[in-house]
């Protein structure tokens, strides 16, 4: 994991409880729900958001790996083509 990834993870773990409690209070106040109902609504939203982030991260990592493999293959095949055209092979 990169330094940026570690830093982002630490920041998220630090801020998450504050964001959750503030959001729950805001939802309770604006929707006139009880605190418990607001917490449940925020918990559900956080669960969905977390799943979306995991899914997008998986897609990003897959695309990054595919790009790395493609760049390596293009480089290797370019060398083969040049060698073949120049009569090295």
pLDDT in tens, 17-75: 888 888 898 998 898 889 888 889 989 988 898 889 888 888 988 999 999 999 999 99
**Residue the block writes with tokens 């493999």:** 69
Q: Do the beta carbons of residue 21 and residue 43 sit within 8 Å? A: no
Q: What are 65's two structure tokens?
A: 């790996």
The whole-model pTM stands at 0.61
Contacts of 34 (CB under 8 A, 6+ apart): 28
The residue among 2 and 83 whose pLDDT is bigger is: 83
pLDDT of amino acid 20: 86
pLDDT of amino acid 1: 56
Q: Do the beta carbons of residue 36 and residue 24 sit within 8 Å? A: no
pLDDT of 89 higher than 70: no
Q: Distance between CA atoms of 63 and 59, rounded to whole angstroms?
A: 6
């Amino acid at each position: 994991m990169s330094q940026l990834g570690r830093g982002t993870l630490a920041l998220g773990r630090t801020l998450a409880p504050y964001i959750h409690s503030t959001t729950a209070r805001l939802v309770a106040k604006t929707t006139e729900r009880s605190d418990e109902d607001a917490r449940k609504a925020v918990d559900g939203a956080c669960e969905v958001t977390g799943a979306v982030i995991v899914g997008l991260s998986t897609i990003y990592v897959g695309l990054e790996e595919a790009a790395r493999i493609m760049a390596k293959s293009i480089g290797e095949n370019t060398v083969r083509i040049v060698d073949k055209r120049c009569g090295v092979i």
